[in-house]
Amino acid sequence: MRLLVSELTHRYEDLTVLDGIDLTLAEGEILAVIGPSGCGKSTLLGIAGGIVAPTAGSVRVEGAVPDGCLNPITFIFQDFALLPWRTVEDNIALVLEHHRLSAAERRERTETGLRRMGLWDFRKALPKQLSGGMRQRVGIARALAVRPAMLLLDEPLSALDAQTRELLMDDFLGLWRREKTTALYVTHNLDEALRLADRVCVLSRRPGRIRELVTIEEPRERRQEPSAQAHLAEVRERLWHLMKAEAQMADREIARA
């Protein structure tokens, strides 16, 4: 599925958060969005997912939707957003309950998601009994259960430690190797952007505008290889430079205010 964002502007009361965003995500493309804190990344994602109404401009989607897709645009959350009173499997069942599915299909979707995320043995556990990484895997399994066409990820690994983050990045890579799910991936972490994204969108400090769109030429599967490192280092340098400049200016504005 393609995502077309055009002339998007958003204001909370009189705080302009996003200003004139034009963006197109190709079918199956993974776009990382980085930018200083408070520049409107989560807002952009919320608008793209239809849970925040934009002040002006439009967001449209078009294109292919996988078979059996129940929720074309699906979120994966930073805080996992699991119901603490439901077991792992019932958390996944939650997003299937309101669809007319046979009991067998319901079970099949839950089981497939759980098995793919290595959670099958933990299906009866409550979220409080799981580590952060496992909780986010439940979040991913829940998203997979509805067979999305597009994933919106809001700092999905920020609440996790570095090792767990590595493991989950591998999970995402595996996921995107199998499914050509378009994704908008908000992060603060350049490693994640460089490992996972096809392109990186750098937003300016608030009001968020697109500072630059950087394409990572190396294909995702080859980024661990030595031959890719020179290019990645170059991209990292460029992104870091852009981010630093924006963050410093944002800090200076706060200091002046």
Partner 1 sequence: MPDSLPASPSAMPPARPPAGGAAGRTVAAQPVRFRGGGFTVKRHGWAALAAFAALLAVWEGVSRLGLASPLFLPPPSAVGRALAGMVADGSLWLNLKASLARIAVGWVLGTLGGMLVGFAMGIFSTARAVGVPLVSAFFPIPKIALLPLFILWFGIGEPSKFATIGFGVFFPTVIATYSAIDSVPRNLIRMAQSFGLPWGAILRSIVLPGALPGILAGFRITASIALILVVAAEMIGAEYGIGAFVLMAGNLMQTDTLLAGVLVLSLMGLAIGTVLSLLERRLLNWR
Ligand X SMILES: Nc1ncnc2c1ncn2[C@@H]1O[C@H](COP(=O)(O)OP(=O)(O)OP(=O)(O)O)[C@@H](O)[C@H]1O
Q: Which is nearer to Mg ion, 19 or 89 (CB)?
A: 19
Q: Report, in Å, the least distance between residue 52 CB and partner 1.
A: 9
User: What's the CA gap between 210 and 235, in Å, rounded?
Assistant: 17
Q: Report the residue from 65, 69, 126, 159 that binds partner 1 according to the rule CB under 8 A.
A: 126
Do the beta carbons of residue 205 and residue 36 sit within 8 Å?
yes
Do the beta carbons of residue 143 and residue 62 sit within 8 Å?
no
Q: Report, in Å, the least distance between residue 84 CB and partner 1.
A: 5
- What is the Cα 186 distance to its own chain's centre? 5
Considering CB distances under 5 to 8 angstroms, the limit depending on partner class, which of Mg ion, ligand X, partner 1, none binds residue 12?
ligand X
Q: Report the residue from 42, 55, 158, 189 that binds Mg ion according to the rule CB under 5 A.
A: 42
Taking Cα atoms as reference points, which of 195, 186, 201 lies closest to residue 152?
186
| Dihedral (CA of 48, 8, 187, 217) sign | positive
Q: Which is nearer to partner 1, 119 or 228 (CB)?
A: 119
Show contacts with partner 1 in window 14-53 (CB under 8 A). Answer: 49-51
Binding status of residue 164 toward partner 1 by CB under 8 A: no
Binding status of residue 158 toward Mg ion by CB under 5 A: no
Q: Does residue 36 have a cis peptide bond before it, meaning omega lies within 30 degrees of 0?
A: no
Stretch that binds partner 1, among 53-61, 91-99, 198-206, 247-255 (CB under 8 A): 91-99
Binding status of residue 85 toward partner 1 by CB under 8 A: yes
| Dihedral (CA of 202, 235, 190, 218) sign | positive
Q: How many residues does the chain have?
A: 257
Binding status of residue 101 toward partner 1 by CB under 8 A: no
Q: Report the interface residues with ligand X, using CB under 6 A.
A: 12, 15, 17, 37-43
